[in-house]
Structure 1
């Protein structure tokens, strides 16, 4: 094993990888703040930014739901229904997880 390979395989290599990932994450977050400080927030951009969290959630959850079939869609329906009526995210999450647990318990 060469010197560089031995370093990467050592605990110091792991610590360096974690530090590099933390730095990159920090720079991405700061870069977004710096970039958005130069953008004039119009009503159209504000609507887009408000819709962004929901879009990210859908993009994250939909592929998993498609793989899991109808139980996942039933749980998503329960979560959406509770969130639409109560406007409390944690209650929607609890309803979705509870519905999925009940469905899986009976399958």
Structure 2
């Protein structure tokens, strides 16, 4: 297997840009004085991105994924994000074993 220098440069460039955007975000957050409303909006971004990634897959596949998405929606009213993800994964695994 050979390593193409152009591909290596592209991978390293993408890694550098990703790293710099994350570091820039962390550096800026410490300097911003956000209102409670703006802070709530920023706190809502990770769950919104997670739903945007998962929903098409859940709705385009079989019934176990649809049921798990519904269970996750209900669990999200009571549990933190990590708990919702754990409940969703456990539900999909259990339902796929049944199906």
Tell me, yes or no, whether TM beats 0.5: yes
Q: Specify which structure has the higher proportion of helix.
A: 1
Q: Does 1:21 align with 2:14?
A: yes
Distance 2:27 2:78 in 1: 37
Contact 2:76–2:84 under 8 Å retained in 1 = yes
TM-score of the superposition, structure 1-length normalised? 0.67
Give unmatched runs, 5+ long, in structure 1: 1-8
TM-score of the superposition, structure 2-length normalised? 0.71
- Counterparts of 1:27-106 in structure 2, within 5 Å, are 27-36=20-29, 39-82=32-75, 84-87=77-80, 89=82, 91-106=83-98
Work out which of the two has the higher radius of gyration on C-alpha atoms and give 1 or 2: 1
RMSD: 2.7
Give unmatched runs, 5+ long, in structure 2: none
Q: How many residues align?
A: 98
